[in-house]
Copies of this chain bind each other. A is one copy, B any other.
Amino acid sequence: MKALEEKILQEGEVVDGDILKVDGFVNHQVDALLMEEIGKDMAEHFKGQGITKVFTIESSGIAPALFTAKELGVPLVILKKQQTADSLKTEVWQTEVVSYTKDTSYRLTLAKNYISDEDHVLIVDDFLANGEAATGAIRLIRKAHATVAGLGVLIEKAFQPGREKLESQGIHVYAQASIKAFENGKVVF
């Protein structure tokens, strides 16, 4: 997606050689108009597949996933990273996600009443690198006997194993911007 690639080249920041920071338009400050374009492109890619819900992982994926859901005319479900006190009163599906990138782990939580075995779910997130978060979301969807329409991400680090891991499970992956490498602090698509 041209507009996203251009924004990454203009405003993305490569830190420590292999981390791309997009805090100025995706993760901390959010460019709402760009997110709308991103949502439209995502919906265009996945339309006509009988998608009933868009899922995202709290909280960086919420903005693009919201516009995707709006365009597809389906609800968005935000998978929670923390078990809040009140979620304990609701029946939930949970799975542990270990993030090697950030050296943390968290419990991904989905209330059972927001998924059924008739759902066909598109997962939308900001980044795909090692695929840990997406794999966790897929586990939750499968626990509920729902099906996965695919994973749509804004930015893929194509030199990391996320896509391969997901495709080997039969998951269709769509990346709006695919990064081949970082060279001398620059992004190479």
Contact = CB atoms under 8 A, between A and B. Distances in A.
Given A30-B66, A32-B66, A35-B66, A19 B77 contact: no
Contacts of A111: 23, 28
B63 A28 contact: no
Contact of A32 (B29, B30, B69): B69
Nearest to A62: B62
B33 A70 contact: yes
B29 A114 contact: yes
A116 interface: no
B30 A75 contact: yes
A15 B59 contact: no
Contact of A114 (B28, B36, B59, B73): B28
A34 to B, nearest CB: 10
Interface of A: 15, 19, 21, 23-24, 27-33, 35-36, 58-59, 62-63, 66-67, 69-70, 73-78, 80, 84-86, 89-90, 102-103, 111, 113-114
Given A27-B78, A29-B78, A85-B103, 8 more contacts: A19-B86, A28-B80, A29-B77, A30-B66, A30-B75, A30-B78, A32-B66, A35-B66
28 contacts: A19-B86, A23-B111, A24-B113, A24-B114, A27-B78, A28-B77, A28-B78, A28-B111, A29-B114, A30-B66, A30-B69, A30-B75, A30-B78, A31-B75, A32-B66, A32-B67, A32-B69, A32-B75, A32-B76, A33-B73, A36-B70, A58-B59, A59-B78, A62-B62, A62-B63, A63-B66, A66-B66, A85-B102
